[in-house]
Amino acid sequence: MNEAWSYQGHLFRLTGRNTDATMRATEDTPLKRLLFLLTLVSALMVSGLSPERSRAQQPDYVRVFIDLPSRANYTDRFFINNVGGNVRWEFETSNTISVELPQRAVDHLMQLSGRFFNIRIEPKATLVNAIDWGVDQINAERVWGGAENAVNVTGNAGAGTKVAVIDTGFDSDHPDLEVNIAGGRNFVANPDNNNYEDDNGHGTHVAGTIAAADNGIGLVGVAPEASLYGLKVLNAQGSGSFGDIVKAIEWATGLGGGTKADIINMSLGCFGAGCNDPALKAAVDNAYAAGVLVVVAAGNNGPGANTVGYPAMYDSAIAVAATNSSNAVASFSSRGSQVELAAPGVSIRSTYPNNSYATLNGTSMATPHVAGLAALVKAANPSITASQIRTRLQQTATDLGAAGRDTSYGYGLIDAVAAVGGEAPPPPPPSAPFVSCTAQAAVTSSAGDNNGYQTTPANACADGGEVATDTNSGSGTSTSCTSTQKDKHNFY
């Protein structure tokens, strides 16, 4: 490329770094004026400095669009290089060029804009808030955004709830996560420490589905204001020991100097001989008994029967199956009587290390949808217990597959609007009385109470046999006990 600007046969030769310009032209043109002005700006800018020195002394660069008078041959970049800038793009569909210039040059040219050319700052495109199809499928955005396909938080978004993600750790600098990360622990390290950075990606992906923030970029999670705790128990290859997992569960239960969470998410599991370990079961059982809801991936060992892994097999955990965008259970999703709830788990897009995003499949991806919804329910009802949240999720799920609970979907696909909007489950009925009897015993049966339970006449039964009949609307007394077992019998 030579140092000349060719335009319709007219040559504008720039003679170095001064204001002299030899113009061989027979007529005045807008482009001639533009080039003269640009040459003048160049001279004012550089003042004898080399482009390298100019760039070094002026670090603030701006991208601008310059609209030329016509689609000319604007390949000569002398005047731009002379002020330490460069042409980024020459477009095929317009007379506009994209130029990077020092801020001072832009300031000068802005004063000249509109005379023979137009200059404007290039707009910037950024990722905007979006929701993945899974968040939409369970209606989470209708809870925190107030409308279908909402992308901005206007209501309950899980604030005040604590979700412990027992996984590969977090990318703690990810812009969609950092505002909601409240802490964590690395149990893989020996000794354990506070560096729970994700060297795999799985944990960061799970965390984003739970609580990617409403920050104007990227994605928004199911509970975009929930607090996240990253408990790293899996290494870069995605594997880890039960000992680390048990310790992390204890930490999330408030033991060993940990922080008690409201919800534990475990998108991990073990399937096969030796996976049912008593230490793991004890930790999960204790967490649930302490009021922590434990949500676990059912496993990716489907479609065969009885393929749910541990710890999802335990009664104290919610086993989550995966569905696709058509609400069909994923072929890989584990089946079994322990499956309790279903959630989206196919082609789920979420946060990933290095400030990126990725699309993954698995019951690992379904599980955080349930954990996020549990956070929304908890935030809407701060006094609700873990067992009540669990009941709420069961009762408000959309039944899929065979009627009632089944081995593929459990109670069905979770529904955020129904779960958060419904009333809290009623308290359990009073404990049934126990009566010791031999051959005969007097039994008093009351069919009414102050909590609105049944007040019509009812019979009293023990071990499947009727032993007393309520003959009025209040109570009745038996005359005999037909049971022959001489021990305690549960009357209901």
Complete domains list, the chain, with CATH: 5-121 (no CATH), 133-421 (3.40.50.200), 434-490 (no CATH)
**Diameter of the chain by CA atoms?**
128
Q: Are 140 and 156 in contact (CB under 8 A)?
A: no
Low-confidence ranges of the chain (pLDDT < 70): 1-59, 70-80, 82-83, 91-93, 115-116, 123-129, 422-492
Could you report the per-residue pLDDT of 19-77, keeping only the tens digit for each? 333 333 334 454 455 555 555 555 555 444 444 443 344 447 888 888 877 654 444 45
Q: Is the peptide bond before 426 cis (omega within 30 degrees of 0)?
A: no
Task: With beta carbons less than 8 A apart as the criterion, state whether 169 and 196 touch.
Answer: yes
For residue range 375-388, list pLDDT tens digits in order.
999 999 999 999 99
Tokens of 341: 């709830």
19's tokens: 């204001």
pLDDT for position 395: 97
Are 322 and 345 contacting, i.e. CB atoms less than 8 angstroms apart?
A: yes
Cα separation, 84 vs 101, whole angstroms: 7
From the number of C-beta atoms within 10 Å of its C-beta (0-12, 13-18, 19+), residue 441 rates as middle
What residues are paired with 329 via a beta bridge?
A: 323
Question: Rounded to an integer, what distance in angstroms lies between the CA atom of residue 67 and that of residue 119?
Answer: 6
- Look up tokens 């609007």; give the residue: 417
**Catalytic (active site) residue 202:** yes
Note if 408 is an active site residue.
Answer: no
Determine which one of 364, 445, 478, 483 is catalytic: 364
Please say whether the beta carbons of 405 and 411 come within 8 A. yes
User: Of 76, 132, 167, 214, which is the active-site residue?
Assistant: 167
> CB under 8 Å, gap of 24 or more: what pairs does 143-150 form?
143/376, 143/416, 143/417, 143/420, 143/421, 144/214, 144/223, 144/224, 144/225, 144/376
Strand order of the sheet with strand 21-24? 5-7, 10-14, 21-24
From the list 108, 202, 205, 489, the catalytic residue is 202
The DSSP secondary structure of 180-241, one letter per residue, reads TEEEEEESSSSS-BS--B-SSSHHHHHHHHHH---SSSSB--SSTT-EEEEEE-S-TTS---
Long-range pairs of 272-281 with CB within 8 A, sequence gap ≥ 24: 275/309, 275/310, 276/310, 276/313, 277/242, 277/310, 279/242, 279/243, 279/246, 280/242, 280/245, 280/246, 280/310, 280/311, 281/311, 281/314
319-369 residue pLDDT tens: 999 999 999 999 999 999 999 999 999 999 999 999 999 999 999 999 999
What is the sign of the dihedral through the CA atoms of 129, 134, 136 and 138? negative
Closest CA to 225 of 162, 133, 136: 162
> What is the model's pLDDT at position 39?
58
Three-class secondary structure of residue 144 per DSSP: helix
Q: Mean pLDDT for the chain?
A: 78
pLDDT confidence of residue 22: 33
For residue 390, give the amino acid letter: R
Active site residue 98: no
Nearest to 226 by CA among 295, 283, 285, 287: 295
